[in-house]
Amino acid sequence: MEIKTYKNPETTAKAFADYLCEKQATANRINIALSGGSTPKLLFELLAKKYCENIEWNKFHFYWGDERCVPPTSGESNYGMTHEFLFQHIKIEEENIHRVFGENIPNEEALRYGQLITENLPSINGLPQFDLIILGLGEDGHTASIFPHQMELLTSKEVCEVAEHPTSGQKRITLTGSVISNAKEVCFLVTGQAKAEKVNEILNITGDCQLYPASYIKPTHGELVWYLDKAASGK
Ligand code: 6PG
């Protein structure tokens, strides 16, 4: 595991953008799963503003680690946020963007999306393998849409499952922990003082870390990298 710490959210996002730029230079195709949340949004804005010319976007096939069960036009949609801050500013083919159909019936969509990923990605250890998965960290220790009250989603044999937000009850489609940990590389992008306690417990294996889904994300044959700003790594 690698921990990279930067001054603030902007320099954290820039460091990851630089990494993506470097990684794509020597790749033919990168199957990447995106996250929602504030730090990825910062990353997308930066990529659109400063990197759109020096990245060959059609090398990427974009998927999502989780998506809210809402239409793509909803302000809640992770795809909608990515389209607004990144996709509409870059040259990327439609067929390189594999959004979750948040407007579909959740159980049917979890199946459809899981089958799409299984068909499109190489299979390692009997599970589809992403080249790169970006994750955020919730203040309750959730990641993707695996929340503390649904720890079984970490070890489900499925590729995708229907999750439920603990307070709003909003249905989500999420990759399972098994698929996330099967990736070649998993990068957490976590910024802000509000996450410092959870980051401390997870990285130092202390406190209530066993209650947090993010603690269980351990790539079996891949890399795990934490991109943190100073505030999130404060403890
Ligand atoms: C989502 C994200 C979620 C997010 C965390 C952190 O769909 O909201 O996938 O897992 O990464 O909630 O979000 P913030 O970075 O905005 O705190």
- What is the per-residue pLDDT for 181? 98
- The pLDDT assigned to 145 comes to 98
CA 173 to ligand 1 center in whole angstroms: 13
Q: Averaged over 7-27, what is the pLDDT? A: 97
66 lines ligand 1 (CB under 6 A): yes
| 120-156 residue pLDDT tens | 999 999 999 999 999 999 999 999 999 999 999 999 9
Give the pLDDT band (50/70/90) at residue 54.
confident
How much is the pLDDT for 55? 95
Domain ranges of the chain: 2-226
38 CB near ligand 1 (under 6 Å) = yes
138 C-beta closer than 6 A to ligand 1: yes
Q: At residue 167, what are phi and psi to the nearest 5 degrees?
A: -105, -40
Q: Which atom of ligand 1 lies nearest, measured to the CA of 35?
A: 9
Give the pLDDT mean for 164-181. Answer: 98
Q: Is the per-residue pLDDT at 108 higher than 90?
A: yes
Evaluate whether 208 touches 201 at the Cβ level (below 8 Å).
yes
| Mean pLDDT to the nearest integer, 111-124 | 98
- The mean pLDDT of 5-24, rounded to a whole number, is 97
Q: Is the CB of 191 under 6 A from ligand 1?
A: no
- Read off the pLDDT of residues 29-44 as tens digits, 9 standing for 90 and up: 999 999 999 999 999 9
- pLDDT (average), residues 13-20: 97
pLDDT, averaged across the chain: 97
Query: In whole angstroms, how far apart are CA 171 and each of 28, 55, 96, 160, 174?
Result: 35, 34, 25, 13, 10
Distant-in-sequence, close-in-space partners of 35: CB < 8 Å, separation ≥ 6: 64, 65, 66, 78, 134, 135, 136, 144, 189
CATH 3.90.1490.10, domain 2-226, yes or no: no
CB-side neighbour CA atoms (13 Å) of 184:
12
- Cα-to-centroid distance, 38 and ligand 1 (Å): 7
Q: Could you tell me the pLDDT band of residue 186, with boundaries at 50, 70 and 90?
A: very high
Instruction: Extract long-range pairs of 117-123: CB within 8 Å, 24+ residues apart.
Output: 117/63, 117/159, 117/160, 117/179, 118/159, 120/31, 120/61, 121/31
Task: Give the whole-angstrom CA distance, residue 82 versus residue 78.
Answer: 6
